[in-house]
Structure 1
Amino acid sequence: MTRRVLVAYGTTNGSTAQIAEAVTQVLCKEGLTAEVRPAPSVTDIETYDAVVVGGALYAGRWHRDARRFVRRHRRALAERPLWFFSSGPLDASASERNVPPVSGVRRAMDRLGVREHVTFGGCLEAGARGGVARMILRNGKGGDFRDFPAIDAWAQRIAEELTTA
């Protein structure tokens, strides 16, 4: 049985980190040993039996830290059960329908045999870093569109797959 799971993420303003933390909490509640870490802080994944990687979406691309993590650890990732998630739509679209992965994520999924990808709504609130983020907020397009029950359900499916394998 798979026991140790890494949940790595790339984020700028912390919303994706909170999703990663929620995933980790569900995995732990289901009896797995899960650890959440910012992608740049992970130097080795050999001690993990499975990996979940999340990245915020910016201008149609996965967060740089998530992309670099996948590229740096691609050989080891290909040998483990692997899931991806994206966060970012600043509307209800991710809760209303399946939002496919952006092209760069799709290519990585195909190369690495990712078991599943899901896109969750994003969160952009006052105090966000970056000029584009501030412009979006000024135009009244921010808000919190994360669906934590859906995030928990997805993490539950991962836990079930890992504990019944």
Structure 2
Amino acid sequence: MTGTVLVTYGTTNGSTAEIAEAVADTLRGDGLTVRALPARSVTSVAPYDAVVVGGGLYAGRWHKDARRFVRRNRDVLAERPVWFFSSGPLDASAGDRDIPPVPGVRRAMTRLDARGHVTFGGCLKEGAKGRIAKMIVSSGKGGDFRDFDAVERWAKGIAASLTRV
């Protein structure tokens, strides 16, 4: 594939954006042309030949910007290779086992015949937005549980799939 890949995401505190940027950097490193953009700022999917969509998990649901992006662009996404990722567990569980997509993401994957999904650990630090996030951090249950080596391995699998002749 010689086209452009869109890596888009929904995030509240920036953790999912950092994962998306790491995915984009890995794809670029493997020779692909990539744009990484917040889901709410994408005006058209038409210029892209493949799409990676990520969303932070909040109370068992994907971030609203990621959900809206998929809903708004479902017809065009159905014509392209698509991968999804989620970020959220505030513990080591994402590194210990495969965490399946939440029901809404699973339905979108089925509708779009998505090529894959992975759940990465989340990150919630001091200064997080939102009442519940602030409560989690103040209770000592925040932290950074992202594994950027796992992000890179997953993105390399996408790159291999897209660059295969």
CA apart distance, 1:121: 0.1
- 2:84: which partner in 1? 84
CA apart distance, 1:139: 1.0
3-state SS of 2:101 partner: coil
- 2:100: which partner in 1? 100
Q: Which residue type is aligned with residue 120 of structure 1? A: F
- Distance in 2, matches of 1:79 and 1:58, equals 29
- Distance in 2, matches of 1:2 and 1:59, equals 38
- 1:27: which partner in 2? 27
> Do the aligned partners of 1:86 and 1:101 also contact (CA within 8 Å) in 2?
yes
Per-residue displacement from partner, 1:81-128 (whole Å, max 9, x unpaired)? 000000000000000000000000000000000000000000000000
- 1:151: which partner in 2? 151
- Distance in 1, matches of 2:75 and 2:138, equals 43
- 1:131: which partner in 2? 131
Q: Which residue type is aligned with residue 70 of structure 2? A: V
Which residues in structure 2 correspond to 1:44-123 (within 5 Å)?
44-123=44-123
3-state SS of 1:12 partner: coil
Structure 2 regions of 5+ residues with no counterpart?
none
Which residues in structure 2 correspond to 1:4-43 (within 5 Å)?
4-43=4-43
- Distance in 2, matches of 1:7 and 1:100, equals 20
> Do the aligned partners of 1:2 and 1:50 also contact (CA within 8 Å) in 2?
no
Q: Which residue type is aligned with residue 42 of structure 2? A: V
CA apart distance, 1:3: 2.4
Per-residue displacement from partner, 1:60-86 (whole Å, max 9, x unpaired)? 000000000000000000000000000
Extract structure 1 runs of 4+ deviating beyond 4 A: none
| TM-score when normalising by structure 1 | 0.99
Q: Which residue type is aligned with residue 157 of structure 2? A: R
| TM-score when normalising by structure 2 | 0.99
RMSD: 0.6
- Distance in 2, matches of 1:33 and 1:138, equals 41
CA apart distance, 1:132: 0.3
Per-residue displacement from partner, 1:21-42 (whole Å, max 9, x unpaired)? 0000000011000010000000
- Pairs aligned (count): 165
- Distance in 1, matches of 2:2 and 2:81, equals 9
CA apart distance, 1:53: 0.1
Q: Which residue type is aligned with residue 105 of structure 1? A: V
CA apart distance, 1:2: 4.2
Identity %: 68
- Distance in 2, matches of 1:106 and 1:82, equals 13
- Distance in 2, matches of 1:151 and 1:74, equals 25
